[in-house]
Amino acid sequence: MKAVNEPDRESQQNVGLIQAEAKIYARHVSGKFQNLRNIALWILLGLFYLLPWLQMDGHQALLFDLPARRFYIFGITLFPQDFVYLALLLIIAGLSLFFFTALAGRLWCGFACPQTVWTLMFMKVERLIEGDRNKRQKLDKSPWNTNKIIRKSSKQFVWILIGLITGFTFVGFFTPIRDLWGMILSFSLGPWETFWMIFYGFATYGNAGFMREQVCKYMCPYARFQGAMFDKDTLIISYDDKRGEPGVKMTRLKKAWVPVLIAHSVFRSVPRVLISAMVCSMNALPVLPVLMSVTR
């Protein structure tokens, strides 16, 4: 007879590491937060695609020139001995991420993460070419005909093009983008530039076109420890039974409490951010001697 807690070997064998899931057909939504996401999307994409073309003091305004060991950041030139500032900047960025996650939940995920931004763009292209949810479902179920072939291949073409432009722009942050463009036009692109452009182009195409939420579920390290930063005051999307059903309108008295609750939430986040700061500093300690030796 099987013991009560004995694992079911047959079902264990049938469970794979990554569960195959049904394709998600996201419906187009609109509203205040969606508008904010769209604004963030266009601003971030605009910055990514246009910044490498900006010139300052006779060279690219934002260029991480690894072979020359120089970082040009809007008029500031950083040499290896200045990397300690870069480390501090990264620590501050990490702590800000922890702080805003504790306070406002998945703010980064929803509005600024590259995975979100590029997925949103790919979804917009998909909707433009194949239509909204119902039309896409119908198209997928329909047999292959001229309409389906044209729509599917057009979508793939635009996705691949966006992927390649993204790969090219990304490499343009490390190799002067104008020289890179010249190399493409004269067919003299080096093997490394070609490899990284195709690699990042393919990663963009695969992650934003096909993997989408699977990246968050199986690959993203940030998703793994987000839960540790949440508390009951963190703003997260979930069912709030206190609001009751049917929905109760917020009274003027409750509205007056909102600033107090926000202040309370900020205050509660401070210990966690301080602990995060300590952990970050401790992690940075082994790197300090290396940085000091570089700065000498």
C-alpha R_g of the chain = 24
Using the rule CB under 6 A, which residue among 41, 162, 177, 216 binds ligand SF4?
216
Taking the least distance from each CB to ligand SF4, the nearer of 47 and 294 is: 47
Cα separations in angstroms, 106 against 36, 110, 113, 168: 15, 6, 10, 30
Cα gap 150→210, rounded to integer Å: 19
Tokens of 107: 């703010």
Binding segment for ligand SF4 (CB under 6 A), chosen from 133-141, 193-201, 217-225, 260-268, is 217-225
Tokens of 269: 């986040």
Binding segment for ligand SF4 (CB under 6 A), chosen from 138-146, 213-221, 233-241, 270-278, is 213-221
53 is an interface residue for ligand SF4 by CB under 6 A: no
61 is an interface residue for ligand SF4 by CB under 6 A: no
Q: How many positions of this chain bind ligand SF4 (CB under 6 A)? A: 10
116 is an interface residue for ligand SF4 by CB under 6 A: yes
Taking the least distance from each CB to ligand SF4, the nearer of 129 and 209 is: 209
117 is an interface residue for ligand SF4 by CB under 6 A: no
Cα separations in angstroms, 96 against 92, 212, 270, 272, 273: 6, 25, 12, 12, 9
215 is an interface residue for ligand SF4 by CB under 6 A: yes
115 is an interface residue for ligand SF4 by CB under 6 A: yes
Cα gap 98→226, rounded to integer Å: 9
Query: Helices (DSSP H) in 186-238: which residue ranges?
Result: 191-206, 213-214, 221-225
Binders in 132-171 for ligand SF4, by CB under 6 A = none
Cα gap 159→125, rounded to integer Å: 8
109 is an interface residue for ligand SF4 by CB under 6 A: yes
Binders in 218-237 for ligand SF4, by CB under 6 A = 220, 222-223
Smallest separation (angstroms) from ligand SF4 to the CB of 141: 29
- What is the enclosing helix (H) or strand (E) of 10? helix 9-14
Smallest separation (angstroms) from ligand SF4 to the CB of 220: 3
Taking the least distance from each CB to ligand SF4, the nearer of 116 and 269 is: 116
Taking the least distance from each CB to ligand SF4, the nearer of 180 and 216 is: 216
Taking the least distance from each CB to ligand SF4, the nearer of 36 and 274 is: 36
Cα gap 202→126, rounded to integer Å: 17
180 is an interface residue for ligand SF4 by CB under 6 A: no
Closest CA to 25 of 122, 129, 137: 137
* E-state strands within 44-104: 55-56, 59-60, 62-65, 70-73, 76-78
Smallest separation (angstroms) from ligand SF4 to the CB of 202: 17
8 A C-beta contact, residue 29 and residue 36? no
Taking the least distance from each CB to ligand SF4, the nearer of 219 and 292 is: 219
Using the rule CB under 6 A, which residue among 113, 121, 171, 177 binds ligand SF4?
113
Tokens of 232: 């009951």
Footprint on this chain of ligand SF4 (rule: CB under 6 A) = 108-109, 113, 115-116, 215-216, 220, 222-223
